[in-house]
Structure 1
């Protein structure tokens, strides 16, 4: 039986018939570089997509959008299929459309694994920042060797003139905003590491 509140909502959206629900899972921020920003629903750990929209898991029924939902990230490691890659408490996602390849590239703030990760057009996942150890280190060196602490959001900017991508990450527990340039070098662009307000 559908709860009364859900049935009422389904009637408003779909004219009476409740639609199939997707599995409940946890989520956080979603950002689409070419299509704006979606507010975060609450609840998982699986990155999913809808046609033209990307979302980090979902705790709402698919009845809210008459589309087919598929998993694009969720089991083990780098260099393999993103659908088989483990992510822990992903809390932010950025996506951009690569006009040259005709595909979409995702960047994920993999908070519980202390990494920023990338899913390419072919669905292969890699780490672009963070060595998986919580802490702070690495400025001026390779981003994959750096330590992050609770990265909570990410933004990826494609530079059309250079053909490279610059990534900005909210390194929340380190109280810093960090940048990974097109060469993969990490630096701090804001924050001293001390919690508070100044400057």
Structure 2
């Protein structure tokens, strides 16, 4: 279920695997439940990018921060408060996953951009595991304008505002849009989503797009 390695365009993300994260969460909980009634929320069309969403966005962006590894992510609107672990690439060139048995753990691509510096930082996590919902189960319910905070190891907190929440089928995942270079500090938060099959698990991904609007 992992897609093959392809280079993304962003500085610092030149080696990131352009992969969907559906391989990280095959929906074992839904498979065991058997009803599909507990599927995670999915974003509505109203939360997708609109043509004028980023008009004036550069003026609304906060100054970039120096590089510093992140230690924690908080998304108050969906009650996420989770530690972050570094993620690398597997031998096949796909993005590795946080341990599935730690449901409240997310990961960040540590060979790429750190959250808050100029470029596109990547955070990924499970939507569920065999025991039930995991860290990003409610990610699809997030709305434009919501706040994401990232605690950084240098003691600063990078504050991001959500620009859009979109869901993609794995066959149509927009690698360049998600992983590509950005002229300002941006963040992508990714988990599994889309349709669900009892044979193959989740069919796509939910992706949150956000940009830096403050720090403290």
Which structure has the bigger radius of gyration? 1
Which gives a bigger RCO, structure 1 or 2 (Cα 8 Å, sep 6+)? Answer: 2
